[in-house]
Structure 1
Amino acid sequence: MRTRFRARPRKWGPLRGLLAAAAVGVLVFPAGASAVSAAPLAEQDLGSRLAADYEAAFLTQYNKIKDPANGYFRQFGDLLVPYHSVETLIVEAPDHGHETTSEAFSYYLWLEATYGQITGNWEPFNKAWRSMETYIIPAQKDQPTNSGYNPAKPATYAAEHGDPSGYPSRLDSGVSVGQDPIANELSSTYGTNNIYGMHWLLDVDNVYGYGFCGDGSKNAPAYINTFQRGEQESVWETVTHPSCETFKFGGKNGFLDLFTGDSSYSKQWRYTNAPDADARAVQVAYWAKTWADKQGKGSQISSAVANAAKMGDYLRYSMYDKYFKKIGNCTSPSCPAGSGKNSAHYLLGWYYSWGGADASAQYPWAFRIGSSAPHQGYQNPLAAWALANDPQLKPKSATGATDWATSLNRQLEFLQWLQSAEGGIAGGASNSWGGSYGTPPANSPKFYGMAYDYQPVWHDPPSNRWFGFQTWGMERVAQYYYVTKDSRAKSILDKWVPWAINNTTVGTGGSFAIPADLQWSGQPNNWTGNPSTNTNLHVSVLNKNNDVGIAASLAKTLLYYAAGSGNTQARTTGEKLLDALLGNTDSKGIAVPETRADYNRFDDTYSQGGLYVPNGWTGKMANGDTINSSSTFLSIRSFYKQDPDWSKVQSYLNGGAVPTFTYHRFWSQAEIATAFAVHAELF
């Protein structure tokens, strides 16, 4: 059982524009903060502005995000939990705006680490880490039966299928699985059998009503999950269910028999980690430590940094094949089971997952799985480098730091292997073709025996179509290059940056255009240990948009590269993007209108490409919505009809105009804020 992020569907004033934003209202600083000036910016040429100007831009954005009236957070006691977005009617990776993700938590950490860098106040960062530990890392009560885990038998095999109609997938104990080589090391190192990693999805307001462990209470936040059914399952085809299955909702077996086929079902809990978010948390902890140490305040965040190292230790599960099969040339379910660490590809896979029996079980059991499909957009060489080399971030386990050193080199090789002739980075690779250890297409290029896949993990839409996976990944490479001056990272960026710049335009009055959707053709050469020009692997830009979060991510990538290399064009383009972003300020942050033609899928039946429920299967959502073969995304989420923005969607479904929304996604607003601070730091 597993899930993953979906690419966000997109149907798609100058820096002195801060004058208006900074002049409206008074900035409020938490206790202990130094009131860095947020005075209006003077008329200056690009490149001549003072660091304080960009610090002011950061603080203006920071205060909008932290203003309770703007609705970015829900408060629980003295802790804050970020929403995915201020707006509730939004469907992309999460299927509701007041859910949250491990991605959002990692950006919350980044926002507060940057605040600590600028103000010297580290209490907000510590609170953000404590909120993450409290609400999105499962506690003992949420994962109670890990003592029943047997590393020699990590999980029972179930094939993935190309379409949700192939589910439930039969559990097959006859397929050999490998051994888990790190479980005993982790439990002995930390004195617990529990996993220290974030589950990816949280229902902050308990909108679905599942409550704690699926008990139907008003408990919030509540652990939930969605994607479970193969490469073709888009968010529009998911059934949102509780992470703890007690059979209170769903059908006679809860929701389990929508996903797996078995002779009987047990009450159980199940969580899924999104490794890029945990790696980002480690990356942020590295920067927080670096900045706090410069201020002589490293001891104030030492606990969070130590826990980041611990998180990195457990994050190694994403380096392993899903069923711990041996890496390379695995083209049938009967391929060899792994032993030792030969089931590790040493890359950041799309997920790792763990689960176990309900606390009341007479015979406790538990499972763990890795991921057979690494995607380029999840790699994080800076986090790998920190976990391998930084004394405070090296994991405590016997082999953790060594594994991350191997991973660092493997990640850089992976990106070199996937770099197209133009410079964009292609999708990834798989050790389990189709999720069922199938045979890849003839002549598929190989990376350490894994087959090239331009759209690893999911196909609706193709997983490497979204330009955001380029900027997220290359921002990490650029940071790594800035810190280490590794020539391998520079060579990747030397090719990627001109491609990105050539496809970016910045106009006046806040206008700009960056790539939105990408298309891939051809394939890389087989990996031989040395980079290739990959003259047969190509990327083209299908369309462009003005996504503010990705523009900020692109700006950060360009600025780190410029700071490391001295490239003036990269710096100038990055500054122009920051300038354009500030031309799109509003009372809640920085945002632009978006048209959402994909919202015509709200009421699609399965025959129209919508939700699949097997004939004869019936059940109930927690709010009483019926689940059956006639269900749609909307019919099992009837709460959307009470959303204040629903009338725009209903009009569209009735044949009206495509609806337009102005969204304030938490990650995007935090990315923008930290982009301003990056310029202040670097230049």
Structure 2
Amino acid sequence: MTRRTMALAVTAVVLIGGVPAVAAPLAVACTVNYQITNEWNTGFGAAVSIRNDGEALNGWNLTWTFPDGQRVTQGWSGNFTQTGAVVSVTNPAWAPTLGSGATAQVGFNGSKGSANRPPTDFAVNGVSCTGPNQAPSVALTAPTAGSSYTLPASIPLAATAQDTDGTVAKVDFYAGDTLIATDTSAPFTGTWTSAPAGDHSITARATDNRGATAASAPAAVKVLSGPAVVASPSTVSVKQGQTATFDVSLATAPSQPVTVTLARSGSADLTATPTTLTFSGTAKQTVTVTSANNGGAFGTATFTASATGYSPASVTVNEIDPSTSDFNKAFLDQYNKIKDPASGYFRKFGDLLVPYHSVETLMVEAPDHGHQTTSEAFSYYLWLEASYGRVTGDWAPFKSAFASMEKYIIPAKADQPTNDKYDPSKPATYAPEHPRMDAYPSTLDGTVPVGQDPIAAELKSAYGNSDVYGMHWLIDVDNTYGFGRCGDGTTAPAYINTYQRGSSESVWETIPQPSCDTFKHGGPNGFLDLFTKDSSYAKQWKYTNAPDADARVVQVALLAQQWATAQGKAGDISSEIGKSAKMGDYLRYAMFDKYFKRIGNCSSPSSCPGATGKNSAHYLMSWYYAWGGATDTSAGWAWRIGDGASHQGYQNPLAAHALANVPALKPLSATGQQDWATSLSRQLEMLQWLQSADGGLAGGVTNSWEGQYASPPAGTPTFYGMYYDAHPVWRDPPSNRWFGFQVWGIERTAALYRLTGDARAKKILDKWVPWAIANTTTGTNFQIPADLQWSGAPDTWNATNPGSNANLRVSVLNHNQDVGVAASYAKVLLNYAARSGNASAKTTGESLLTSLLSHQDSLGIATPETRSDYNRFDDVYNTSTAEGPYVPPGWTGKMPNGDQIGQGSSFLSMRSMFRNDPQWPKVQSYLAGGPAPTFTYHRFWAQAEIATAFSLHAEIYG
């Protein structure tokens, strides 16, 4: 398994809440969910669940009629009889009653012919039942994403659509929000004959016979006013006296060779070669621009590539100071590639851009699909645009990035509608986490004491409402899964979640679910009863925050505020800086124990008391905080939790410094600034405590051993009464194995040192930097640490006399060429060198950046990587190893596209869309016994990390 499989994950949140009120029961009412769990040539298995929505039943008889001649051959959990096509199932003798709101499930194996449609006439005791309508599935097959057309455009439209519990009534085709065609019968096709020139996003939306809808992933197409020349990137920087390049191609393949000529307007100091290019297809050709070495004023020229009968394309080339560092130019080149619409890093919604996790879609690591995105990506988007503002003085892109973050990944009032029902004196009901997934669902236990939330009231007073201002960690940008917003099936982006079940759950074991669970998908209780066990379930919303991303927003706001102030433009971004301080105020929820219990020496759920005031604050950046509540605004509950587990890689002392000491970033709450001042010291103490004898930083601490306030092994070292954990939060793979968590965390410490001279930060860096450099080689084939192995443990923390941690050791298991980690690592070295004058750190940091420049491609900077962990695509749950997606016995459900979830489900069977990915044959070959597939991925965070590393060098040394 690769080190990144869970490196970015926000995990192990047990969702909790008050028990909802149950509506007054009807006399007789029922809901039936019929799921085919397995199917072979002549037979199938199925599970049928009955939810009693009426009064309690003393004896029940479920009936249905098979539509295709199916026969029950074996049944369980009920008494089966079949007469002709009609099946009758009565309650087993040992379970005669079915209480109001209760669910019973039966299962059977059956025989079938070529067809196997589900029954539609379910009844209990002669009363017809409502079947939860499963949304149809739909896939757009035409047009092809990335295709181009010329006016007058005639764009073919085609889609495949299915409905597992009914029929597809129609398929609508949309360009953005505009209906362009409808077809009511298969094959579903159409033609868009009035497409205007421009960029368009085409989707197909299927509607079934009961009104449920589902939308396909979008296909981006371009309509040109005619045959067109294409040039990229659209903006190029060239040092005076040197050269730069751009690419020229044709949008569509010509019927015969086409000659393209280049014409210049603007400065004569800029010339291009060749000036004539001949195309027989759409392959790109490179043009070199040369700047005259005449020492004159810096010029700008536009090069227009044109051909007879073709729309031209233009590239603007700007001369820049020849003394500008190579890395400042590298920043502009990298920025232009990332922001080029043709590169595919963003999806555009109106005037706003949302970054994808990666350009590529077949991607499984913390997000389980490349066109999801994370709060991490948004924080890097802000960093990218802040750096652009520093270089150019243009802060409009930074403001646009902030607006996109606020609109699409910070839940709005409508997304968290019942926060006003939150009771800070009863923040959440306890549910233990478990080290194995087969211990889930976890039982809610109201007898375990919880503490009081000490910051809710002051946050409400400071900001005038009860809403939480923080990012949810994961969204489905294209609505690939089809959950939509609160079950509507269509809205994109959509809030989703994956991890929910303790330290053993890697991405390969997750079950995707909507953040707003309205029971429209999954099983009878949506996805809730996979994770928690309760007497009844209510429709609810729930969000999980990744504190390192929100802290990075604050870190970037500090940098942006300093840069804009130096330019006399602080007023341009004052609103965004103030909102970043607000985000930091709410980020304090990451400082508190999960259930607001007392910090220190917790060894059992019942003996660890609930806390009052700040006694539940550990003042560290924990792995998450989370909040949720009922979707029903008349319901009387909402909840919030923190987390007692803190990983060294999530600490951000620079953000703590900003919120504690910088006036523009002062939180509005009564105690926010004070809390962050305490956090700054506590974070630096923990990093010192976790530093190995070699220099690397060990895992972290927890106030809740195994997530259930258990008693740790005897002799476990402590930090302010919390227990050392070599790999906090997850074990698959071990969470502190990835070197990336070293550089992500220590970069913030190094930036704090450069900006403030903090001696505590320097002490940590003085030991970490030589260790890292000793395990690094630079050059085209650069090698940096990849996986780490730990032994021993730190000494119990003594703030007045810290130990030496002589027995805490780390070794580097292997090396790689991870470009994003290399860029972050370079930032550490450059920040440290700038303040300390350490020549080795400066040389190694610069050499890493130069090494990255040797791996450029048309989309950015990337290196190939082999994904041997992709053999887990088809894993099913293995009881002996506790690996594979675990589904509790008897639980069945469906994804919005109809993918079954049940016993024997695999990562792939719940995500069948991967089979349609253009890269899938490489994985399929691997699963069939071939070699592990190799991919060249362009992750947004990594490309932005590279760009901002170049910018940092220019800022310090340019």
Q: Please report the TM-score for the alignment, with normalisation by the length of structure 2.
A: 0.67
Aligned in 2, Cα 1:20/1:229: closer, same or farther, shift over 3 Å?
farther
Q: Is 2:884 aligned against 1:582?
A: no
Shift of 1:54: 1.7
Q: Is 2:426 aligned against 1:153?
A: yes
CA distance in 1, matches of 2:289, 2:822: 24
> Partner residue of 1:662?
936
- Contact persistence 2:5–2:507 (CA under 8 A): no
- Contact persistence 1:267–1:357 (CA under 8 A): yes
Q: Is 2:486 aligned against 1:213?
A: yes
SS of aligned partner of 1:353: strand
CA distance in 2, matches of 1:192, 1:587: 47
State the structure with bigger RCO (CA 8 A, min sep 6), 1 or 2. 1
Indicate the percent of aligned positions where both proteins have the same amino acid: 68
Partner amino acid for 2:665?
Answer: L
SS of aligned partner of 2:751: helix
Partner amino acid for 2:786?
Answer: A
Query: For 1:543-558, what aligned pairs fall within 5 Å after superposition?
Result: 543-558=814-829
- Contact persistence 1:21–1:585 (CA under 8 A): no
Query: For 1:208-607, what aligned pairs fall within 5 Å after superposition?
Result: 208-216=481-489, 218-334=490-606, 335-358=608-631, 360-507=632-779, 510-529=780-799, 530-607=801-878
> Partner residue of 1:30?
none
Give the total of aligned pairs. Answer: 654
Find 1:673's aligned residue among 940, 943, 947: 947
SS of aligned partner of 1:181: coil
CA distance in 1, matches of 2:637, 2:381: 34
> Partner residue of 1:33?
none
Find 2:903's aligned residue among 607, 629, 635: 629
Aligned in 2, Cα 1:324/1:21: closer, same or farther, shift over 3 Å?
farther
- Contact persistence 1:268–1:355 (CA under 8 A): yes
> Partner residue of 1:183?
456
> Partner residue of 2:89?
none
CA distance in 2, matches of 1:25, 1:304: 36
Deviates more, 1:289-298 or 1:600-609: 600-609
SS of aligned partner of 2:613: coil
| Moved segments of 4+, more than 3 Å | 17-22, 38-42, 49-52
CA distance in 1, matches of 2:610, 2:6: 30
> Partner residue of 1:650?
924
Aligned in 2, Cα 1:569/1:245: closer, same or farther, shift over 3 Å?
same
Partner amino acid for 1:501?
Answer: I
Partner amino acid for 1:443?
Answer: G
Partner amino acid for 2:705?
Answer: W
Shift of 1:363: 2.2
Please identify which structure carries the higher helix content.
1
Shift of 1:20: 12
SS of aligned partner of 2:444: strand
Please identify which structure carries the higher strand content.
2
Partner amino acid for 2:848?
Answer: L
CA distance in 1, matches of 2:416, 2:623: 21
Shift of 1:24: 2.6
Shift of 1:163: 1.0
SS of aligned partner of 1:213: coil
Partner amino acid for 1:110?
Answer: W
CA distance in 2, matches of 1:119, 1:322: 44
> Partner residue of 2:370?
97
Aligned CA RMSD, in angstroms, stands at: 2.0
Aligned in 2, Cα 1:434/1:84: closer, same or farther, shift over 3 Å?
same
CA distance in 1, matches of 2:903, 2:445: 26
> Partner residue of 1:46?
none
CA distance in 2, matches of 1:41, 1:647: 46
- Contact persistence 1:349–1:371 (CA under 8 A): yes
CA distance in 2, matches of 1:41, 1:56: 14
CA distance in 1, matches of 2:637, 2:595: 17
Partner amino acid for 2:728?
Answer: P
> Partner residue of 2:174?
none
Partner amino acid for 2:798?
Answer: T
Partner amino acid for 2:245?
Answer: A
1:390-422 alpha-carbon deviations (Å, 9 max, x no partner): 001010111000000000000000000000000
SS of aligned partner of 2:769: helix
SS of aligned partner of 1:58: helix
Rg bigger for which structure?
2
1:608-646 alpha-carbon deviations (Å, 9 max, x no partner): 721100111100001100000110000000000000100
1:118-172 alpha-carbon deviations (Å, 9 max, x no partner): 0000000000000000000000110000011000000000000011111000000
- Contact persistence 2:243–2:291 (CA under 8 A): no
CA distance in 2, matches of 1:21, 1:279: 40
- Contact persistence 1:39–1:56 (CA under 8 A): no
CA distance in 2, matches of 1:390, 1:473: 21
Q: Is 2:278 aligned against 1:6?
A: no
Partner amino acid for 2:587?
Answer: L
> Partner residue of 1:129?
402
Shift of 1:112: 0.1
Partner amino acid for 2:640?
Answer: R
CA distance in 2, matches of 1:381, 1:524: 21
CA distance in 2, matches of 1:117, 1:408: 27
CA distance in 1, matches of 2:821, 2:334: 16
Q: Is 2:376 aligned against 1:106?
A: no
- Contact persistence 1:515–1:541 (CA under 8 A): yes
Aligned in 2, Cα 1:260/1:40: closer, same or farther, shift over 3 Å?
farther
1:34-87 alpha-carbon deviations (Å, 9 max, x no partner): xxxx98899xxxxxx944422110000000000010100000000000000000
Structure 2 spans left out of the alignment, 5+ residues: 10-237, 249-287, 293-321
CA distance in 2, matches of 1:468, 1:418: 16
SS of aligned partner of 1:227: coil
CA distance in 2, matches of 1:411, 1:248: 43
